Amino acid sequence: AVVSTQSTGALKQAATDPKTGQIDMEILMTGLSATSRAKRAELAKFIMQSLTAGKKTLKMGELYDLCREGFTDGFTQPQFEMSVRDLLDEGKIIQTSNRQIRLKDI
């Protein structure tokens, strides 16, 4: 009974979204909370809008700085990198050997 109570407590703690305080079982299944996934998707959308509206090719650092300036909701370097990785995986952007990011249809 003690082990079960400890396990339940540990499970609740592991599944709690630190930003909302709510239990989010997606954290256990995917490793990301719904809040984190939503922010990642919004950041990816902003990256696409930035590439579409401005220069079509940017160095990774330039793109990061552009997002820092224009994306109103703060983000971390890993969140930025995961958003870029999502766009690469979806085939929407291409990363060249010299760490430049460009739209795929150029």
Quick one: pLDDT at residue 60?
Answer: 92
Quick one: pLDDT at residue 56?
Answer: 83
Quick one: pLDDT at residue 24?
Answer: 66
Question: Can you read off the two tokens belonging to residue 9?
Answer: 């407590």
pLDDT digits (tens, 9 = 90+) for 59-85: 999 999 999 999 988 899 999 999 999
The CA distance from 88 to 95, in Å, is: 7
pLDDT digits (tens, 9 = 90+) for 28-43: 666 667 788 889 999 9
Give me the mean pLDDT over the 87-95 stretch: 94
At 87, the pLDDT band (50, 70, 90 cuts) reads very high
**Residue 77 backbone dihedrals phi, psi, to 5 degrees:** -60, -45
3-state secondary structure of 76: coil
